[in-house]
Structure 1
Amino acid sequence: MAARWTMLAGLLLLLPLLQSASSSSMVFKLDGNVYPAGHFYVTMNIADPSKPYFLSVDTGSDLTWLECAASNGACERCNKVPHPHYRPGPPSYKVVPCTDPLCDTLHQDLGTTKHCTEPFQCDYTLTYADGSSIGALITDKFSLPMVKPPNDHPDLAIGCGYDQGVNAGKVTTVDGILGLGPSSVSLVSQLKNHKIITKNVIGHYLSTKGGGFLFFGEESVSSSDVTWVPMAPRTPGKPYPYSPGRATLQLDTKSIGAEPMEVVFDSGSAYTYLPELVHSQLVTALKASLSKSSLKEVHDPALPLCWKGNGPFKSLDDINKEFMSPISFNFGHGVTMTIPPENYLITTEQGSACLGILGTADIDLYLIGAIAMQDQLVIYDNETRRLGWTHSLCDRMPET
């Protein structure tokens, strides 16, 4: 933390929800990192009496949900989360019925068909690359201590995820997901509907030092400092809500891949993902750019492709002494997102520098994860349907 910060600012950083200069915006402190935590997360206080839960900041989905225990306290096929499993109960929680419009919206977002076999419950299934989560839509109270009464304890719809599928049992660093998509079921859309914020605008600052900030509502940064692109239209059932359109991928000035591909922003993914063929081409080009360096490929359990130099990499500053080639996404019309080496590499516990861009056969697009969005303010403006980014010192509280 910068030495010139006042003691008051230092104390404010201890609060999960920070006082905003304007009543039309909210600022939250973030914890976590790309490695080793694998998440940037916010602390939300939910239920009555309220209890804290860590929620991964996820612009790649709409629904906010928690791993959820049944009324008897049991949580079958759940993960080992940081806090006792969320257990909905009186007096604050209510079941969202299957006939509620929010249930229709949720299933439209997921591209699924709802089945009202239980008329008093909106069931859903979330599908991920490495598993699934089955749950039901409910409402419960959120404690927002810096919001003026009577809006400081709104009832908001969230998912009660009671079955994490065959891959359950893992130790995780978060209790659930904070879905920040544009859908009416998302938390930010609900906050606007409750008139707690005036605009459906989201921004995050993710720091390479770990932690950062998240804001909802008005942004104070000058638009002239931000690179803006229109949001691509979202089709029903499309899994990733935020896309700046199609782009070509480059390493230095060398194009990777033959054709432009759709790009999506997903802060809930720690790493950046490319289709396997494009990833293979990028790795080949990256290795060629390092052929005259002293770097050697090494095995490291953290990620598939890692290097070491004459000594261990202790920080991202060490990385910048060896890796020089930026990666960029060129959207045309003079719009480019440039990713420096410290935003596509991590330093591991074993002192390696590892590539935080992975290949997968599951996508036919470029997925920009949290690693590539570090040390930038990224803005999702759902009012004017545009996305923006600008370099920022993300370990300092934004002046919203």
Structure 2
Amino acid sequence: MAPAPLPLLVAAFSLLFAAATPIRDVADACSSQVQAADFEHLNSSAMHLPLHHSRGPCSPVSAPSDLPFSAVLTHDDSRIASLAARLAKAPSSSSSARPTVTVASLYRANDEVDGVAASLASVPLTPGTSYGVGNYVTRMGLGTPAKPYIMVVDTGSSLTWLQCSPCRVSCHRQSGPVFDPKTSSSYAAVSCSTPQCNDLSTATLNPAACSSSDVCIYQASYGDSSFSVGYLSKDTVSFGSNSVPNFYYGCGQDNEGLFGRSAGLMGLARNKLSLLYQLAPTLGYSFSYCLPSSSSSGYLSIGSYNPGQYSYTPMVSSTLDDSLYFIKLSGMTVAGKPLAISSSEYSSLPTIIDSGTVITRLPTTVYDALSKAVAGAMKGTKRADAYSILDTCFVGQASSLRVPAVSMAFSGGAALKLSAQNLLIDVDSSTTCLAFAPARSAAIIGNTQQQTFSVVYDVKSNRIGFAAGGCR
């Protein structure tokens, strides 16, 4: 869940550094990094937000410092399973263990809104995407007067939603107060007869419901049994000094699962109800980001960008899911040598680029060749036991090892030249592993490989661009 700040962004320090540093010093360091960040490469006409990694100490919703990395991988695998099920238009393998969300339960606690159709009372929600602790967050303003809320940013989701008072059924613990619609003079519930209510089925992959008072009800569900159910609403959304009225979003009344301490989810997928598409008439159909590592600053920028700095790959059309971002992986090299496989193996599965997936998944043949080539190039480095889903591991930390140059090439000439931190991921204090795994039904370019690159999603021109050195 699967699903970022802009002209300023908070850098994330290592958890080890945070644990040994006084809180005041960490706060001062975070502030200094924001002030020192170089955003000259961003277009001044776009809307910029700071982007935080949820596991960094500068994050407003930092994960517990004792959280094992295996938990990140477990959530990541749930996300992959649900994406695979979504592409296959079938329930995920964990659906039998997933509780049925009863829309009626939301309204038994509400004397004003009731009468949900019986046929909707016990419909299992379609699995969406899992949201764990490998995600990125930013602040979004909502209401009049505007108040800030911490949101998970995700390119694999469409509907933006956040927890709303009075949380008639359940709200998870979040950082800061829950949004109260009664405090916003621009808030309005959305009726069932609106086009936006009809659009919910494609935005959430679940049917909309309708209350007896004609309020549209959304149902958003995710692959790890997390879900949000509530009222489709509209209000003024703001980012810094920029505000846009009549923004459609979900006002969650029953929100349960693994959303960390965020207020909700910001959707940037290709859908009428996504944040991107709703802001597009004002800002244009593009957004860019630089995902920060544990020691860098990042941003999310919505709107126009400087096109000359990027190398591009076309977005690939797919009938599997027209809201996700598909591209074509065309080759990989290790130490300057192409992997010893046929070029057709790279396109044996559809490939998605996704901000919410931590570990990149490759077609099995490609992964096996990559694993063998990297291990061969690092034959002088002591091997470590497999860790969870990662089976190519080494003793040491990524920053201290000599690793081969690895590049991922995409159709059209775009490429990602991976640093050690893009190639390997530290799973504990003494072990680092290849940050790739075999794919199920789709290859996925995850956020570890994207970190510190500037990535632009130019939906209008139907292309995705990459540029090195997007953030520190």
- What SS does the aligned partner of 2:182 have? coil
- What SS does the aligned partner of 1:192 have? helix
Q: For residue 241 of structure 1, what is the amino acid of its counterpart?
A: L
1:84 maps to which of 144, 154, 177: 177
- What SS does the aligned partner of 2:350 have? strand
2:468 maps to which of 391, 394, 397: 391
Alignment of 1:85-164 (within 5 A): 85-90=178-183, 91-116=185-210, 120-135=214-229, 136-147=231-242, 152=243, 154-164=245-255
- What SS does the aligned partner of 1:129 have? coil
Shift of 1:379: 0.6
Give a deviation string over 1:83-133, Cα, whole Å, max 9, x none: 333343353322122222122333224444445465723333334332242
Question: Is the 2:234–2:246 Cα contact (8 Å) retained in structure 1?
Answer: yes
Shift of the 355–122 alpha-carbon distance from structure 1 to 2, 3 Å rule, reads farther
1:318 maps to which of 385, 388, 400: 400
Aligned to 1:28: 49
Q: Which runs of 4+ in 1 moved over 6 A?
A: 18-23
Mapped partners of 1:256, 1:110: distance in 2: 38
Alignment of 1:45-84 (within 5 A): 45-66=141-162, 68-71=163-166, 73=167, 75-76=169-170, 78-84=171-177
Q: For residue 49 of structure 2, what is the amino acid of its counterpart?
A: F
* Farther off after superposition, 263-272 or 85-94: 85-94
Question: Is the 1:327–1:340 Cα contact (8 Å) retained in structure 2?
Answer: no
- What SS does the aligned partner of 1:13 have? helix
Q: For residue 136 of structure 2, what is the amino acid of its counterpart?
A: F
Aligned to 1:5: none
- What SS does the aligned partner of 1:378 have? strand
Shift of 1:318: 1.6
Mapped partners of 2:224, 2:169: distance in 1: 20
Aligned to 2:120: none
Shift of 1:250: 5.6
Mapped partners of 1:329, 1:234: distance in 2: 20
Higher strand share: 1
Mapped partners of 1:118, 1:239: distance in 2: 33
Q: For residue 61 of structure 1, what is the amino acid of its counterpart?
A: S
- For structure 2, the residue ranges without an aligned partner over 5 or more in a row are 1-10, 12-30, 57-62, 64-132
Aligned to 2:454: 377
Aligned to 1:245: 328
Mapped partners of 2:41, 2:149: distance in 1: 22
Shift of the 366–285 alpha-carbon distance from structure 1 to 2, 3 Å rule, reads same
Q: For residue 390 of structure 1, what is the amino acid of its counterpart?
A: A
Question: Is the 1:39–1:56 Cα contact (8 Å) retained in structure 2?
Answer: yes
> Is 1:215 the counterpart of 2:278 in the alignment?
no
Higher helix share: 2
- What SS does the aligned partner of 2:408 have? strand
Shift of the 338–157 alpha-carbon distance from structure 1 to 2, 3 Å rule, reads same
Aligned to 1:6: none
Aligned to 1:175: 263
Mapped partners of 2:252, 2:197: distance in 1: 15
Question: Is the 2:346–2:366 Cα contact (8 Å) retained in structure 1?
Answer: no
TM-score calculated relative to the size of structure 2: 0.65
Give a deviation string over 1:33-72, Cα, whole Å, max 9, x none: 6777522211112234433222122112222122x2442x
Q: For residue 63 of structure 1, what is the amino acid of its counterpart?
A: L
Aligned to 2:424: 345
- What SS does the aligned partner of 2:351 have? strand
Question: Is the 2:154–2:355 Cα contact (8 Å) retained in structure 1?
Answer: yes
Q: How many residues align?
A: 359
Question: Is the 1:60–1:239 Cα contact (8 Å) retained in structure 2?
Answer: no
Aligned to 1:232: 316
Mapped partners of 1:281, 1:14: distance in 2: 43
Shift of the 250–21 alpha-carbon distance from structure 1 to 2, 3 Å rule, reads closer
Question: Is the 2:158–2:274 Cα contact (8 Å) retained in structure 1?
Answer: yes
Aligned to 2:24: none
Mapped partners of 1:214, 1:350: distance in 2: 30
Question: Is the 2:457–2:463 Cα contact (8 Å) retained in structure 1?
Answer: yes
Q: For residue 302 of structure 2, what is the amino acid of its counterpart?
A: F
Q: Determine what percentage of the aligned residue pairs are the same residue.
A: 23
Shift of 1:232: 1.8
Mapped partners of 1:127, 1:249: distance in 2: 35
What is the RMSD of the two structures over their aligned residues, measured on CA atoms? 3.6
2:444 maps to which of 342, 355, 367: 367
Aligned to 2:361: 273
Aligned to 1:264: 352
Give a deviation string over 1:109-164, Cα, whole Å, max 9, x none: 444444546572333333433224232321233233333xxxx3633111223334
Mapped partners of 1:54, 1:216: distance in 2: 17
Shift of the 335–39 alpha-carbon distance from structure 1 to 2, 3 Å rule, reads closer
> Is 1:297 the counterpart of 2:384 in the alignment?
yes
Mapped partners of 2:209, 2:394: distance in 1: 54
- What SS does the aligned partner of 1:264 have? strand
Q: For residue 142 of structure 1, what is the amino acid of its counterpart?
A: V
- What SS does the aligned partner of 1:61 have? coil
TM-score calculated relative to the size of structure 1: 0.75
